[in-house]
Amino acid sequence: AQSVTQLGSHVSVSEGALVLLRCNYSSSVPPYLFWYVQYPNQGLQLLLKYTTGATLVKGINGFEAEFKKSETSFHLTKPSAHMSDAAEYFCAVNPNTGTASKLTFGTGTRLQVTL
Amino acid sequence: DTGVSQDPRHKITKRGQNVTFRCDPISEHNRLYWYRQTLGQGPEFLTYFQNEAQLEKSRLLSDRFSAERPKGSFSTLEIQRTEQGDSAMYLCASSLVSGGLNQPQHFGDGTRLSIL
């Protein structure tokens, strides 16, 4: 079984400041990891994904995340926050078993960006 | 690529009524998923199809819920005898099975169900 823990249900940063959203996972097999963003009354949009290979992955809108197996973490960062980054962010895991296909999501982190 | 389309966007109904939602996936995608999202939570998996075959159902999918994908294209999710606890956002996603599991799921904007 796999699970995802997102530390901090709400994060507030000033515009231009570093964004750090934390995600830790539990998986019995090497996972695929994802970050999605959700704006109000909309579905989820994929920011980035880790499958294999390079552990630092770059996504859209200037976001990136680093897979750290030893820490079972996949934290999301952005060097400089914009007002338009205010949204709900979800980390998700998909077991790399070749049979299961569903995503298991964390409870989300709401990012607030202030002037 | 027109994206995943869900209809209706909002549904308000009285407790005990039946409701049906529709999802049109991205045209070349052979996998289709349904998730449920309640306020303040992440999406929870309900079921998924590969082409017309329903391959997995969550324990969350009680016998009042049924999903179909008759021709391997669009899908419907029906809830019979709705209850207050069914109030949620129902999200549909689709993906292309190719080269393993690393094809990301693309989500629609969801159907928000409110039970009076």
Per-residue pLDDT in tens (0 to 9) along chain A, 115 residues: 789 999 999 999 999 999 999 999 998 777 889 999 999 888 899 999 998 888 999 999 999 999 999 999 999 999 999 999 999 999 999 876 655 578 999 999 999 999 9
How many CB atoms are located within 10 Å of the residue A84 CB? Answer: 10
Q: Are A90 and B42 inside 8 Å of each other by CB?
A: yes
Q: Are A44 and B56 inside 8 Å of each other by CB?
A: no
Return phi, psi of residue A14, to 5°.
-85, 150
CA distance B35 to B113: 13
Task: Tell me the β-bridge partners of B98.
Answer: none
Distance, C-alpha B11 to centroid of its chain: 14
Q: Are B45 and A102 inside 8 Å of each other by CB?
A: yes
Q: Which residue of A has its CA nearest to B4?
A: A43
Q: How far is A46 from chain B (nearest CA, A)?
A: 7
Question: Do B50 and B30 touch, CB atoms closer than 8 A?
Answer: yes
